[in-house]
Structure 1
Amino acid sequence: MQSADPEHFFETDAAQAKRERRAAKAGNKYGSPISLKSKLLAAVPDPRFPGSALLVAESAGAVRFVNINDPDNTKTAYRGPTAPVCCVAVGGPDSGTLFAGSWDKNIWSWDLNSRAPGRKYVGHTDFVKALACATVGGKDLLISGGADKKIMVWDIATGARLHTLQDSAVNMLSIQDLVADRAFSTTTEASLISASSDPHIRRWKIRLDGWEQVVETSPDAPGTDRRTILEHETTVYKLVLDHDGDEVDLWTSSGDGTAKCLSRAKNFACDDTFHHGDHVRAVAVTEDWVITAGRDEDIKFWDRTSGKLYCSLVGHYDEVTELVVLRGTSGSSQHICSVSIDGTVRTWPLEKAALDAVVKEQEKPAEEETKEASGEGLLSAEEEAELAALMEDDDE
């Protein structure tokens, strides 16, 4: 009889300590965890339920609907793949189609409302790791990036592959993320930004009849060009476009342990750096906060104005893979959800007073552990007085 229990196999001391630490941490209720049955690899907001629901990619081969206001109901799922789902996107006519990229190298689709299976897009030769949607010339397009180092552009309606994008000059590795830059797209041309396992960020222009890679003007050497945006030292995991006034800055997270704000006004030079530490798998921005998370399991909130760390929240007991800001119908930020390889979706407040309450709640166990370790606080004041009286009696 075979066993999958890690205790039945040789483990290093470090691996055993890590497993024991996670087991001890697993029962915490911080962030009101919604537990699913497999590892969670990605998530996006569900446009049908602004401010309250998301669509989560599971390693079990499904995309699951999660409503944070109804945490006990997690049965609604979109099924088809038999391999892990790596990424999800919503697009197509009236944003009514759900897309999922899988380890099986395919892109699956469903009608968002009926969950009826739709077209399958076949062409990648390795895992599909990133998806984005755009509209060009009246056509709805699906854009996919894979571990095969390729970016593919698909006609959603027909399933035809229109283009395959590759960098011919700077070796492009496995695609990690894609974002459609709608602020700089037109009716005839879509602007796309890509991130990959190399530290280079690339910009592209996509038309129905062709595509081109955008050559950047170097912020360090005016008058010279650069083919890529190079501000990180290693893998760039996440790209987020933030609309702040007239400027649309690009936020990034990387395996070099940092999240960065790349200023469009400065030709995507780094304008601010947040040193999270360890691999930063996800970054999110709101009116007040920059939020980072990754391999160290913590959710870190940074004051957007000062750039200083405001707090670090615990809860997850394995790597955090995604942060999703849930916004209400007015567009205001309501909550932020984190998803993790630990199989939980956790929800955190964005309002300062509520966030302070979470911080205070998390500080209590640490204070109690410190007191217990030092022998303080084991007796109440009344018990200490009674003990002192008894000791006095003994002395007599």
Structure 2
Amino acid sequence: MQSSDPGHFFETDAEQATRQRRAAKAGNKYGNPITLKSKILAAVVDPRAPSSTILVAESAGSVRRVNVDSGDTSTVYRGPTAPVCCVAVGGPASKPILFAGCWDKAIWSWDLASKAPGRKYLGHSDFVNAVVCARIGGKDCLISGGADHKIMVWDVSSGARLHTLQDSVINMLKVQDLVVDPAASSEDGICLVSASSDPHIRRWMITLDSWEQVTEPAPAEEPGAERRAILEHETTVYKLVFDHDRDELDLWTSSGDGTAKCLSRMKGFTPDDSYTHGDHVRAVAVANGFVVTAGRDENVKFWDQSLGELFCSLEGHFDEITDLAILRGPDRPGARVCSVSIDGTVRTWPLITAGLQEIMEQQAKPATNDVDEDKTGEEEENLLTADEEAELAALMDDD
């Protein structure tokens, strides 16, 4: 008889303590948790309902639509038989397409409305860790980044690979995230920003016919020096986000060095602000005057952007947080932030002072022994073998 219960395997004292601590936290209701049956590795807002719905990448090999208001999780996009690492929505505005990068080295696609499977994009030789959509020269394009150290640009309609981007001078390691810079892009070409397991942040100018890596302005202390990449972190950069609430569209980054930084566009993408979250910072989000950071320490931290100070640190998740997504739309004033985690829960937090203070007061009260009935006796629906579980842990730890 086989068992997936970690308690049936050899564990160190530290591993036992971690498992017991997480079990004790699992029953909390902070952030109105919605519990899924597998680990959540990434999230993106559903453009059809941007104030209430996200699409999440599951280790069970699927993408699931989660409505944080109704709790509905019944819409599932299936096909992969390996964990899904990343998700994006793009293609024609009249018929949006859901894309998912997978451990099987493929990028899967579905019609977002009907769930009908679409084209598979094949070319990477290792996990696909990041996908982003863009319109280049009148064509809908898909851009992917993999653990094979490559960035690929695809024509969505034909499936043709247009370009393969690699740094020929500074060795680029596993690609962790991709984002399009709206301020530096045009109808004919886009500026893509990439993050990887090495600490360098790279910018690329891409058209349908060509691509080139952007050479950054030399720092003031080294006039005339060529800067092929932005180097402001000490190790892996996990997340890249542009601050759309400000005209400057500054770049926010989060890193395995324990910090999240604001790289000022006006200062040549050098740090304007730096927040020390602690431990690996897997995700950062910016909205309503708050900077939100989250990662391995399981807490969601809210920073007052105007003061540059920590406003609060909220508990809820009981395993590593992998992504954050901002919910806002015309049908709901203000904004909220969703956090997703290896613990299999989606949690939603307010982005207003009063709402955060209310949660702080709740968490300051003595803990109760509530049990999460949704988790009791429930086996995790997971496609991972014991070896793959170890590989996922190593992937999450990778710097």
TM-score by length of 2: 0.90
CA distance in 2 between counterparts of 1:294 and 1:113 reads 32
2:147 alignment partner in structure 1: 147
TM-superposed CA distance for 1:2, in Å, is 2.7
Aligned pairs for 1:1-396 (under 5 A) are 1-71=1-71, 73-94=72-93, 96-220=96-220, 221-329=222-330, 333-365=334-366
Counterpart of 2:355 in 1: which secondary structure?
Answer: helix
- C-alpha contact (below 8 Å) 1:240/1:251 kept by paired residues: yes
CA distance in 1 between counterparts of 2:275 and 2:311 reads 12
Of 183-192 and 219-228, more deviation after overlay is shown by 219-228
TM-score by length of 1: 0.91
CA distance in 2 between counterparts of 1:248 and 1:60 reads 36
- C-alpha contact (below 8 Å) 1:325/1:333 kept by paired residues: no
Counterpart of 2:140 in 1: which secondary structure?
Answer: strand
Q: What is the CA deviation profile of residues 185-204 of structure 1, one whole-angstrom value per residue up to 9, with x for unaligned ones?
A: 11111110000000000000
CA distance in 1 between counterparts of 2:260 and 2:332 reads 24
1:380 alignment partner in structure 2: none
CA distance in 1 between counterparts of 2:334 and 2:130 reads 25
Counterpart of 1:365 in 2: which secondary structure?
Answer: coil
Counterpart of 1:43 in 2: which secondary structure?
Answer: strand
- C-alpha contact (below 8 Å) 2:288/2:352 kept by paired residues: no
Q: Which runs of 5+ in 2 are unaligned?
A: 370-399
- C-alpha contact (below 8 Å) 1:128/1:147 kept by paired residues: yes
Q: Select the structure of larger CA radius of gyration.
A: 1
TM-superposed CA distance for 1:288, in Å, is 1.3
Counterpart of 2:297 in 1: which secondary structure?
Answer: coil
What letter is aligned with 1:172? M
- C-alpha contact (below 8 Å) 1:26/1:317 kept by paired residues: yes
- C-alpha contact (below 8 Å) 2:131/2:144 kept by paired residues: yes
The structure-2 alpha-carbon separation of the partners of 1:193 and 1:332, relative to structure 1 and needing over 3 Å to count, comes to farther
- C-alpha contact (below 8 Å) 1:59/1:85 kept by paired residues: yes
TM-superposed CA distance for 1:6, in Å, is 1.6
Counterpart of 1:217 in 2: which secondary structure?
Answer: coil
Of 182-191 and 161-170, more deviation after overlay is shown by 182-191
1:387 alignment partner in structure 2: none
**Number of corresponding residues:** 367
- C-alpha contact (below 8 Å) 1:155/1:162 kept by paired residues: yes
The structure-2 alpha-carbon separation of the partners of 1:333 and 1:223, relative to structure 1 and needing over 3 Å to count, comes to farther
- RMSD of Structure 2 on Structure 1 (CA): 1.4
- C-alpha contact (below 8 Å) 1:136/1:189 kept by paired residues: yes
CA distance in 1 between counterparts of 2:111 and 2:131 reads 17
TM-superposed CA distance for 1:225, in Å, is 2.1
CA distance in 2 between counterparts of 1:111 and 1:342 reads 28
Counterpart of 2:249 in 1: which secondary structure?
Answer: strand
Counterpart of 2:359 in 1: which secondary structure?
Answer: helix
TM-superposed CA distance for 1:75, in Å, is 1.3
The structure-2 alpha-carbon separation of the partners of 1:243 and 1:40, relative to structure 1 and needing over 3 Å to count, comes to same
CA distance in 1 between counterparts of 2:270 and 2:201 reads 12
TM-superposed CA distance for 1:4, in Å, is 2.2
| Higher share in helix | 1
CA distance in 2 between counterparts of 1:22 and 1:156 reads 42
TM-superposed CA distance for 1:165, in Å, is 0.0
- C-alpha contact (below 8 Å) 1:290/1:302 kept by paired residues: yes
- C-alpha contact (below 8 Å) 1:286/1:333 kept by paired residues: no
What letter is aligned with 2:312? C
CA distance in 1 between counterparts of 2:205 and 2:22 reads 45
CA distance in 2 between counterparts of 1:330 and 1:35 reads 25
Counterpart of 2:365 in 1: which secondary structure?
Answer: helix
Counterpart of 1:216 in 2: which secondary structure?
Answer: coil
What letter is aligned with 1:147? A
TM-superposed CA distance for 1:332, in Å, is 5.8
